[in-house]
Structure 1
Amino acid sequence: MSHKGNPKRFQNKIIELAVDKDQTLLPFLLEKLSNRSRNSIKSILTRGQASVGGHIQTRHNFPLRPGDKVQIRFGTPAAGTHLQGLTILHEDDDLIVVEKSAGLLTIATDKEKERTAYHQLMDYVREKHPTQRIFIVHRLDRDTSGVMLFAKKKSIQQKLQNHWKDIVLERTYIALVEGEVKKKAGSITSWFKESTTHLVYSSPKPNDGKKAVTHYKVLKSNRKYSLLEVNLETGRKNQIRVHMKDIGHPVVGDKKYGTNNRVIGRLGLHAAVLSFKHPRTGEVLRFLSKMPKVFLKPFA
């Protein structure tokens, strides 16, 4: 019998599903709840609505054995933590991959300590395992949205950071910039330095700072704006923002690096793709985050 027709039917109810063979949690739920979409079932896991043997499980690859009982709580999520501005795309014993909204800090500042991606994820993992921790691998600027990676073990964090160039296979951003970028594809190379006021700037002199290399191609443009696909060869602080300023096409909404343009009401930068080799298993993982529709507003 389909449950789709009456979503309130299972509000705040629990159903129990018996496991009759060795398999992992996501395929099991896809099979047992065949009337629901894959995204719907992933959401059930992300929100902490699935438990095995009384313990909440969010891992897609959590192993099930014959005789296990899987409980699904429909309605209010079982987990107490409500993630604001974050969606979990993947979680295993070593990593959490999330999609971050624009406006959310990665880590605390003097002004904002609690509503950060780091703080929320720390609360989230400790709800299930009180001694669990989260470790920052890389950051997205507050007003940049998209895919981010966190480690759940210090050793995993160190491996990712020490071998970042070898482990990360692709980092692709979408950037909405001012003006018509005439050259349809190109690369920008400079050496980054930072002022005492924490403003990053470019030096054209080789080895005068940290080398930064950015590749771009134009996806769409008119006389006032260009939409770019940007690939990072290096991962320097504010790299795309600085390089776009360098070529005379600052990122829309980027007051720090040269424009007060608020045509989309936010910074025009989105981390669209992150692909990497799992630091423990070697498996290639690739995560995508859809470009916010508002980025197309200047072309309507």
Structure 2
Amino acid sequence: MIEVVPPEAAGTRLDVFLAPIVGSRAKAQALIENDLVRVDGLAKQKRYSLLGGETIEVQALSEGPRPEVPPAKFEIAYEDDRLIVVNKPAGVVVHPGVGNREGTLVQALAGRVAGGNDPDRPGVVHRLDRDTSGLLLLARDEATMFALQEALRRRDITREYVALVEGRPPARRGTIDAPLGRDRRTRTKMSTDTDDPHEAVTHFETEQALPDDTLLRVTLETGRTHQIRAHLLAIGHPVAGDPEYGHAGRHGLSRQFLHAQRLAFKHPETGAPMELRAPLPEDLVKALRQASGERADQSV
């Protein structure tokens, strides 16, 4: 099925536009989420706001049974009645989205997380990319979700990452203040070369200088999609092993060397200071050893 978006539909959400065409909004969302909808040849989110004039191609939704997907693996770093901090391994998707409808973290935590306006993202205060490991904060009720989102907006939540990057930045510490948005040419990537820029600020500090790489400690001031990866590429030092923003396979890596190591915030109910750390996963420890040419300290 092919539809051309009329000019008067400009500003309409993609799922809303498709609803009367395919029979219901739920079916429209299912088609989008199963990667069966293309807008001018590109996959879009259900919230995508149409411009008018686009060509939408819709493939039929198979009614056959879906293959069973095993539940996501994770570790609980901290849990109480209000919130959960998860140590997420690489390879786990946080919430359902295009091409990832099953086997996500929030589905594995069903009944234990809640809050927010998006039923696909209950309790999700912030996100980590599929192949970024480390600490993730989730709420267990609406009030906690609101409080944590407000703390994030005020930049009262510290998110500290460890990243191994190619080469050596020109300064031991610095700030990358460069707006990010969808790349003009590769729409699946985020970039400073964009038509839709949004504020993005990343701070970094050298942790260890290696022969051909540098281990950085990185903190986020904002939380844009792929922010660290896109920002470090923008200054000429992509994350080691990054298949989208750098060079896959560096130092034997099967994913980007990026780990959310430290999370600090005030408990939304008690006000008590919270600080949690996640050890570097074994695949990153091995890559660090290879990059350094000697045994790396596993307590990094």
- TM-score when normalising by structure 2: 0.64
Give the aligned residue type for 1:200.
M
- The 2-side partners of 1:223 and 1:120 are apart by 41
Task: Indicate whether 1:268 and 2:282 are aligned.
Answer: no
Who is 2:79 aligned against? 91
Describe the SS at the equivalent of 1:156.
Answer: helix
Describe the SS at the equivalent of 1:161.
Answer: helix
Who is 2:117 aligned against? none
- The 1-side partners of 2:194 and 2:97 are apart by 32
- Choose from 156, 160, 180 the match for 1:168: 156
- The 2-side partners of 1:184 and 1:216 are apart by 8
Q: 1:100 to 1:85 in 2, by over 3 A?
A: same
Task: Indicate whether 1:210 and 2:198 are aligned.
Answer: yes
The answer as to whether partners of 2:113 and 2:123 remain within 8 angstroms in 1 is no
Who is 2:66 aligned against? none
Who is 2:277 aligned against? 288
- The 2-side partners of 1:174 and 1:87 are apart by 19
Q: 1:125 to 1:215 in 2, by over 3 A?
A: closer
Describe the SS at the equivalent of 2:109.
Answer: helix
> Higher mean Cα deviation, 106-115 or 142-151?
106-115
- Choose from 191, 204, 215 the match for 1:201: 191
Task: Indicate whether 1:183 and 2:171 are aligned.
Answer: yes
Equivalences for residues 1-300 of structure 1 within 5 A: 84-122=72-110, 134-166=122-154, 168-195=156-183, 197-202=187-192, 209-263=197-251, 264-292=253-281, 293-297=285-289, 298-299=291-292, 300=294
Give the superposition deviation at 1:83: 6.9
Describe the SS at the equivalent of 1:244.
Answer: helix
For the aligned residue pairs, the C-alpha RMSD in angstroms reads: 2.6
Give the superposition deviation at 1:194: 1.7
Q: 1:87 to 1:224 in 2, by over 3 A?
A: same
Describe the SS at the equivalent of 2:233.
Answer: helix
- The 1-side partners of 2:157 and 2:81 are apart by 21
What is the aligned residue count?
A: 211
The answer as to whether partners of 1:167 and 1:278 remain within 8 angstroms in 2 is no
The answer as to whether partners of 2:123 and 2:139 remain within 8 angstroms in 1 is yes
Cα deviation, 1:169-203, whole Å, max 9, x if unaligned, reads 42110001111234211111111122472421115
Among all aligned residue pairs of Structure 1 and Structure 2, give the percentage whose two residues are the same amino acid: 37
The answer as to whether partners of 2:139 and 2:145 remain within 8 angstroms in 1 is yes
**Which runs of 5 or more residues in structure 2 are unaligned?**
1-69, 115-120, 295-300
- The 2-side partners of 1:125 and 1:201 are apart by 32
Give the aligned residue type for 2:222.
T
- The 1-side partners of 2:113 and 2:267 are apart by 20
Q: 1:195 to 1:89 in 2, by over 3 A?
A: same
Bigger Cα Rg:
1
Give the superposition deviation at 1:165: 3.7
- The 2-side partners of 1:160 and 1:241 are apart by 24
Give the aligned residue type for 2:139.
A
Give the superposition deviation at 1:209: 2.4
Q: 1:291 to 1:168 in 2, by over 3 A?
A: farther
Describe the SS at the equivalent of 1:210.
Answer: coil
Q: 1:167 to 1:257 in 2, by over 3 A?
A: closer
Describe the SS at the equivalent of 2:288.
Answer: helix
Q: 1:204 to 1:136 in 2, by over 3 A?
A: closer
Give the superposition deviation at 1:274: 0.6
- The 1-side partners of 2:275 and 2:287 are apart by 23
Cα deviation, 1:57-98, whole Å, max 9, x if unaligned, reads xxxxxxxxxxxxxxxxxxxxxxxxx97531111111110111
- The 2-side partners of 1:173 and 1:165 are apart by 19
Larger strand fraction of residues: 1
- TM-score when normalising by structure 1: 0.64
- The 1-side partners of 2:264 and 2:153 are apart by 12
Q: 1:87 to 1:154 in 2, by over 3 A?
A: same
